[in-house]
Amino acid sequence: MKRVLLATLLVVISLRAHAIGRIADVSIYNRDTGEVLPIHSYRGEYWVAGTPGAHYAVEIRNRIGERILAVTAVDGVNAISGDTASWGQTGYVLDPWASYQIDGWRKSDAEVASFLFSNASASYATLTGRPANVGVIGVALFRERRPPPATTDIQTPYPYDPPMRRVAPGTVLPAPAPTAPLLAANASAAVVPRAMAAPMEEKLGTGHGEREESHVVQVDFERLQSSPNEVIRIRYDSLPNLIALGVIRPVRPPTTIPSAFPGSPVAQYVPDPPEVR
C-alpha cells in the first residue's frame, strides 16, 4: 500500500509541475504530440517553450467544489469575443472539480479556430492591429456569488446575468462593461543585458488556425466580486529565444573520454565479494 501511495504522490507532483494556479490548475499542451509543456519560472514570470507551427490548447482544471468563471485571453485578446482583453468580459465556467480544454478562438456556438504557435507577425493579435501583448496567455478566475436562501417573504428578483453560452463542462458568459485590461496591468519583460543576449529569432505569437467543431450552450453565472479572485499569467516563446533570454539553460552533451580501441571488448574478471563485517 505504501508503494502505491508513493507512486500516486509522485504522479500528482509531476502533473502540478506542469500547471500553475490555486483556484484552478492552468496548463498548456501541444495538441500535435500530446505533450504537456513544462512550465519554467524565471524572474517572477512563468514561461513555456512553444514549437512553431504546433497546435496547442489551454487546459483549466477547477480545484474547488464550486463553479468558477475563467476569462481567458491570448496575446491580449479575449479568446471568445476577440475584443482587447479585460477582466469584465466573457469567459468559460467550469463545474466543481471539472476541467475544460480551450483549443482555439471561438467563432460561433459550434466552432473555434485552432490556436497554433506562429511568428508574431502572423499572429491573430498582430493581424488585427494589436501586437503589443503578443506572447502571453492570461486566465482571470472568478468565484460564483450564490443566491441567498429562499424565504416565504416577498423579495425582489435576485439579479442575474443574461443568458450565456456554455461548453460542457465549461460555459461562455456575455461581456459586461469593460474594466481594466487583463494583461496590461502587470506587464513586464525579462531583462537581459545586450552584451550577453544571444541573437534572437522572431518571437512566437498565436495564429488563427483551421476551424474545428466545438459546441456551446447557455447558463447563468454571477461573479462573487468585480475583480478576479486569481489571475494566472503564462508567457511563451520558442525554445531558442527562451535560451537566449536565460529562461532555460541549454542542455550540454555529456563529456566522453575518447577510446584508443573503441571496437575491442574491455577485459573483465570476477570481482571480489563484499567485505563481511
Tell me how many degrees the CA angle 230-242-184 measures, rounded to the nearest 5: 35
- As beta bridge partners, residue 204 has 119
pLDDT of residue 199: 58
pLDDT digits (tens, 9 = 90+) for 224-264: 999 999 999 999 999 999 999 999 988 777 777 777 877 77
Q: How many helices (H) and strands (E) does the chain have?
A: 3, 17
Quote the cell numbers at residue 203: 518571437
Q: What is the pLDDT of residue 257?
A: 75
For the chain, give the mean pLDDT.
Answer: 80
Burial class (CB within 10 angstroms; exposed 0-12, middle 13-18, buried 19+) of 181: middle
For every one of its 277 residues, what pLDDT tens digit does the chain have, with 9 covering 90 and above?
A: 333 334 333 333 344 457 899 999 999 999 999 999 999 999 999 999 999 999 999 999 999 999 999 999 999 999 999 999 999 999 999 999 999 999 999 999 899 999 999 999 999 999 999 999 999 999 999 999 987 766 544 443 443 333 344 444 444 544 444 433 333 333 333 333 333 445 578 999 999 999 999 987 778 899 999 999 999 999 999 999 999 999 998 877 777 777 787 777 766 778 778 876 6
Domain boundaries, the chain: 22-146+160-245
Phi (first) and psi of residue 214, to 5 degrees: -160, 105
Residue 20: other Cβ atoms inside 10 A:
17
